[in-house]
Amino acid sequence: MPKSIVIEPEQAFAKGTIHFTDIAVNAYQKTAKEELAEYSTEDFLAIWQDLCAIRQFETILNEIKVKGAFQGVTYNHAGPAHLSIGQEASAVGMAFSLTSDDHIYGSHRSHGEILAKGFSAMRKWSDEQLMELMKSYRDGALLRPVEKGYKGSVKGLALRFFVYGAYSEIFARETGFNRGMGGSMHAFFTPFGIYPNNAIVGGSGPISPGAALFKRVNRKPGMVVCNIGDASFGCGPVWEGITFASMDQYRKLWDKSLGGGLPIVFNCMNNFYGMGGQPLGETMGVQFIARIGAGVNPDQMHAERVNGYDPLPVIDAFRRKRKILEEGRGPVLLDTITYRISGHSPSDASSYRSKEEVEHWQAADSIKAFHKKLEAMGVASDEALSTARESVDSTVFEMFKLATDLEASPRLPAGSEVVGEVMFSNRRVEKCDDREPEFLQPIEKNARVVQIKGKVRVGMQDGKPVPKMKAYNIRDGIFEAMLHRFSIDPTMVAFGEENRDWGGAFAVYRGFTELLPYHRLFNSPISEAGIVGASVGYGLEGGRAVAELMYADFMGRAGDEIFNQLAKWQSMSAGQLNMCVVLRISVGAKYGAQHSQDWSALVQHIPGLKVVYPVTPYDAKGMMNAALAGSDPVIFFESQKIYDYGEMFAEEGVPDGYYEIPLSEPSIKRKGKDLTIITLGPALYNAVAAADELQKQFGLSAELVDLRTINPLNFEPVVASVRKTGKVLLLTDAVERGCVMQTVASTLTQLCFDDLDAPPVVLGSRNWITPAAELETFFFPQPSWILDAIHERIMPLKGHQPQTNQTLGELARRARAGV
Ligand SMILES: Cc1ncc(C[n+]2csc(CCOP(=O)(O)OP(=O)(O)O)c2C)c(N)n1
Ligand SMILES: [Mg+2]
């Protein structure tokens, strides 16, 4: 389907200039009279209470970190406390008008934002709703300690509940929002619209657009706020997130009824510092973060700078920006000016700024200023404000004490396995929403569906391979599994580079363009961090996403999003959240050093990911089906060498109907008794060739075990095979050093030590860059290497003349040379 936007040379070469409009800086000018008309006394006092509560919450943390005690209560807090004392007004202003449908994502310095958002949300809930939440949230674990002996209002109880949950989370107590699995830098509480806060600076930048995408695709109310610091705007993934959020297609190509541009505010909590580096005047050149908007789109992201040392200009900005988002004109960029009076952390000696500077900001302190303002406006007397402050301060202090009490607020017991138990959610999720999935045409009319119907679902017929054009292949298997889930789960989306029109980087998606509306299948910018980050945000919000990385070599570009984001939020939620995301990663060949690497070992090493590598059409379909019915993040490796291979192992071929292959089970591809060859990835096909030679030349029968899955991995069938044969070679196309097979070999050595006739031998690619296509046979393990390695290191093959050097001496030499 050709694109609807046509590019003509006359237009591209026409003379002109690019226009920018002025970006407002501190434009808020409302008078006291206007403010009095806009806010009720109750509103003003609510803001006051929230400012004070946050200041007290963090003052206590600061004191216990620095002095080990607060007002006689001693406590040793081992973990971090990145405080935002001074920044309260920016947080309260941001949160004031937001509802629980508005979701905030944030950073390491987010206690204030979390508290502000929680306080604001609970004011908008009825007492019944709050009671219901407190009773049901983690079966009342947070409610029980705070309701003991409490006789006040439900709102008062909710305040205790929320402050207590936050402290408990920071102190790693079972009674924390997420059983202490998140802690200070990663705390969150989704019922009030508080989504993950990220210890990776700028980490929320690429995730939040995925959350906003979820709202658009699934027509959900509310907006997303991505709160990140000024220095975070130096992070590449933040730029990728902004690029992803500002794609033209939302407004130009997507169905108008979806609502247009993504409903997201990138809100810079601009405190003028990173840790010690200064974006203004030192580490960046932009001067005003708001200026960045001008480079993003013609709307300049509706960027402006606001005074975040006063909550009212921030509330005003958020109210105005909400309208823009509701009109489908997002994204928005806000540059909210504030100041961190506290150090970066309590151990910070503030060597990077002058005492005078801190004193000036202290003199202008937002809490003092707001106190004066309320008094001057006649909203409340000094006495009333002080009494309100004392009251909330004492509640916060009481909750602090309760959270430090080990009896009321226990940690996980010694030796607990809970951290492991919540690594995966292991749920079955047939669909993430009940509405009817959207399609552009009847499935049975789709040309690809019709074409696949005419294919032969076995790879061999009458002893001969089925011609490539006719054979049902790995691409077809993945397509069928995805189609199945697309037809059940209305939230399911797929995106990545060249996903639409092109048909996915390697034609797996051909046919989907005609079948799926834009919002279910779309091209992303070339932003690997943006792609994976968006899939994480989409998953966190409760949707199902399939993201694609064209080459495994590009995982580096999405390193943080794969290793720290996709992998970790389920566990940091203590198993409360799902992460229904499949990340398809294609492993290349023939394209040299930067497009032909199998990097499966990188994700094997990272806790929290399910990792599979199917290499037959039968396995690809069954495992994609299982991945798309689960609730955990799955890294789904595919090999470009074999996309069009037919099914050579399953005798009945690839079933028409639905079936699943569990994501933990290796598969015996050929039975044998003399030797076990375990393979990962397309190395299976070289192992088949080697096994044929072993049989032909030496009368040996090799059992072929295709690992298929990297994590989790059931060793039982592998152990059974090795026990039977006593000999094992492990084969992979990844470079040998540090590859997945080294871990499998080491575990097998321990599990089968008494049954082994020789140590397990791992054979991988050379520890080199991948050379050019013409030289690949020097690099990837060839069938002849397998025979040579068996001969040198497992059992002598009678009369065999090795063609390569697979001796132990050579192994040691390569290691010494680092190659
Ligand atoms: C990717 C990454 N790099 C560096 C750090 C260390 N670090 C923690 S906070 C911080 C400064 C962040 O500054 P900014 O984004 O302005 O947020 P602020 O701390 O001022 O709230 C740095 C460099 C980190 N946590 N993550
Ligand atoms: Mg900063």
The pLDDT assigned to 425 comes to: 95
Cα(285) to ligand 1 centroid in Å equals: 18
For 681: left if phi > 0, alpha if psi spans -120 to 50, otherwise beta; the answer is: left
Distance (Å, whole) CA 409 – CA 729: 52
> Can the peptide bond before residue 617 be classed as cis, meaning omega within 30 degrees of 0?
no
Alpha helices in 343-446 (DSSP H): 355-363, 366-376, 382-404, 418-421
The ligand whose atoms approach the alpha carbon of 271 most closely is 2
Pocket test for ligand 1, best of 275, 292, 335 (most atoms within 8 A of CB): 275
648 lines ligand 1 (CB under 6 A): no
The pLDDT assigned to 361 comes to: 97
Whether 412 and 418 have beta carbons less than 8 Å apart is answered as: yes
Cα(798) to ligand 2 centroid in Å equals: 70
Distance (Å, whole) CA 467 – CA 788: 33
Residue with the nearest Cα to atom 20 of ligand 1?
274
Nearest CA-CA partner of 347 in 573, 7, 639, 79: 79
The pLDDT assigned to 347 comes to: 85
- What is the tens place of the pLDDT at every residue in 454-484? 999 999 999 999 999 999 999 999 999 999 9
200 lines ligand 1 (CB under 6 A): yes
Weakly modelled stretches of the chain, pLDDT under 50: 1
Q: Residue 6 carries which DSSP code?
A: P
Strands (E), 215-344: 224-229, 264-270, 304-307, 332-337
Distance (Å, whole) CA 682 – CA 665: 17
Whether 621 and 508 have beta carbons less than 8 Å apart is answered as: no
3-state class (DSSP) for residue 658: coil
230 lines ligand 1 (CB under 6 A): yes
Whether 141 and 380 have beta carbons less than 8 Å apart is answered as: no
3-state class (DSSP) for residue 336: strand
Whether 635 and 586 have beta carbons less than 8 Å apart is answered as: no
3-state class (DSSP) for residue 579: coil
Phi, psi of 610 (to 5 degrees): -90, 135
The C-alpha R_g of the chain, in whole angstroms, comes to 30
> Which ligand 1 atom minimizes the distance to the CA of 108?
9
Pocket test for ligand 1, best of 84, 88, 90, 108 (most atoms within 8 A of CB): 108
Nearest CA-CA partner of 274 in 80, 104, 108: 108
Nearest CA-CA partner of 179 in 574, 724, 691, 646: 574
Dihedral sign from CA coordinates of 539, 541, 543, 545: negative
Q: Residue 563 carries which DSSP code?
A: I
274 lines ligand 1 (CB under 6 A): yes
Residues with Cβ within 8 Å of 271's Cβ and at least 6 positions away in sequence, in order, are 84, 86, 87, 229, 230, 338, 339, 340
85 lines ligand 1 (CB under 6 A): no
The pLDDT assigned to 2 comes to: 55
The ligand whose atoms approach the alpha carbon of 201 most closely is 1
> Can the peptide bond before residue 237 be classed as cis, meaning omega within 30 degrees of 0?
no
Measuring CA to CA, how many Å separate 702 from each of 9, 170, 707, 724, 743?
62, 55, 15, 11, 22
201 lines ligand 1 (CB under 6 A): yes
Element counts in the chain: helices (H) and strands (E): 29, 23
Pocket test for ligand 1, best of 201, 228, 336, 339 (most atoms within 8 A of CB): 201
